[in-house]
Amino acid sequence: MGRLFGTDGVRGVANEGLTAELALGLSVAAAHVLGDAGAFEGHRPVAVVGRDPRASGEFLEAAVIAGLASAGVDVLRVGVLPTPAVAYLTGALGADFGVMLSASHNAMPDNGIKFLARGGHKLDDAVEDAIEEHYQRYGVGGDEDWKRPTGASVGRVRQYTEGFDKYVAHLVAVLPNRLDGVRVVIDGAHGAAARVAPEAFARAGAEVVYTLGAEPNGLNINDGVGSTHLDKLQAAMKEHRADLGVALDGDADRCLAADADGNEVDGDQIIAVLAVAMKEAGTLRGNTAVATVMSNLGFKLAMEREGIDLVQTAVGDRYVLEEMKHHGFALGGEQSGHVILLDHATTGDGTLTGLMLGARLAATKQSLADLAAVMTRLPQVLINVKGVDRTRAAGCVELDAAVAAAEAELGATGRVLLRPSGTEPLVRVMVEAADEVQAKEIAERLAEAVRTHLG
């Protein structure tokens, strides 16, 4: 069996790769690893369980809850809420761990299971490995059995209905100022924050002039809406003459934005705007922002110009978070819109990110376009090469040679990044250059090399 956990939990096509049996077995394993199984006799562990609106989440949630309760874990079922809400509630309620069922921005047939440690934090690799090992030993088809609680020792399941209000109240309470006078369009991606985000913005004082992606039916999550499909939000911004457009993804752990003219404001620009605001407020700990190697070179130049230090990590918000926690930094994120505000959240929170942008607009009385102009994006071309064996990308001599040739051609005016996806069966090719035509030509050449050598 290959490693089950990717860069963001366990994902797969629901009821195909990600089955009810797998969900149940992993939950039992997580209960024993995260719930202090050795101390079950003196401690009843508690888990918070939430999901996004995918239809498959209904049966997977049932399997997860069954596994946890069968292992002696009491379950607080919070229903459809964003990933950052489940993380927040895990910490706020003093639960031993949390479980979120979502495949984030992936299409509806996919789903995923993400476990959160005590306090609502992501698991490190060693803990994930321990859960996998336990699953392989004691799970469905495993070689060993485990001691099952009976009678009053089995876990109890309770619907926790206060989660929505508790989370929204938290979001509004941490804002530096109200959003009065800011007109907002929100795209909830027919996802987990379809109700949360409009409510939070309204309570914070913004005028929510239009919503889209706000009617989840279990089948339409991310379907032509959300942070991976900005065209509808961009059109709505111009139609409704709004100040801020916010686009979330399926589990609302990321946020992209649009200005009054419908222009995209990506994660790099959002982090740049917030970094400047936090520096002014004295809350940018270490005078440092954390980003990944995928960040636009223009972002790095902007941080240098603003006198803000930049630390770059490997791709993946988990690596950004690890760096932030290790050094005590307060702000980090990815170009894709995962923005982590560690003083207020343990993971990326799209709704919180959008609210902080709105607060900056309200405080400065500037437009989002003017605020985002703190950085200039250099041309960057990203090609997702599908239908290839991503596992062979590392160490492929032919690809290494192709990348080296491209880097020599670009010199100091650009850069190349070739990376297998951690959550999808594809390889990402990114090329950045001062000239867009050159960037596109080199990216297409490298994409063809990936197809040739990894096909």
pLDDT in tens, 331-342: 999 999 999 999
Over residues 177-183, the mean pLDDT reads 98
Task: Check whether 227 is labelled as a binding-site residue.
Answer: no
Residue 122: closest CA among 314, 318, 292 = 318
DSSP 433: -
Residue 385: closest CA among 339, 451, 295, 293 = 451
Residue 55 scores a pLDDT above 70: yes
pTM of the complete model:
0.88
What amino acid occupies position 7?
A: T
**Residue 168 φ/ψ region, left for φ over 0, alpha for ψ in the -120 to 50 degree band, beta for the rest:** alpha
**Cβ of 382: how many Cβ atoms within 10 Å?**
14
> Which one is catalytic: 56, 102, 104, 227?
104
pLDDT in tens, 378-414: 898 999 999 888 888 888 899 999 999 999 998 877 8
Core vs surface per residue 427-449: b (16+ CB within 10 A) or e: bbbbbbbeeeebbebbbeebbeb
pLDDT in tens, 247-265: 999 999 999 999 999 999 9
Question: d(Cα 172, Cα 443) in Å, to the nearest integer?
Answer: 43
| 3-state secondary structure (DSSP) of residue 11 | strand
**Cβ of 281: how many Cβ atoms within 10 Å?**
10
Distance between alpha carbon 260 and the CA centroid of its chain, in Å? Answer: 25
Over residues 118-136, the mean pLDDT reads 92
Average pLDDT value over all residues in the chain: 93
Residue 104 is a catalytic residue: yes
Over residues 174-195, the mean pLDDT reads 98
What amino acid occupies position 325?
A: K
Task: Check whether 27 is labelled as a binding-site residue.
Answer: no
CA dihedral 172, 173, 179, 184 (to 10 degrees): -10
Over residues 39-50, the mean pLDDT reads 79
| 38 confidence band (pLDDT: 50, 70, 90) | very low
Residue 432: closest CA among 450, 421, 418, 420 = 418
Task: Check whether 253 is labelled as a binding-site residue.
Answer: yes
307-to-91, 334, 343, 366, 442 alpha-carbon distances in Å: 34, 20, 22, 21, 33
Question: d(Cα 23, Cα 18) in Å, to the nearest integer?
Answer: 7
- The percentage of residues in the chain with a pLDDT greater than 70, rounded to a whole number, is 97
Task: Check whether 249 is labelled as a binding-site residue.
Answer: yes
Question: d(Cα 105, Cα 21) in Å, to the nearest integer?
Answer: 24
The residue with tokens 């960040």 is 295
Q: Please report the DSSP string for 397-423 in residue order.
A: HHHHHHHHHHHHHHGGG-EEEEEE-SS
pLDDT in tens, 190-206: 999 999 999 999 999 99
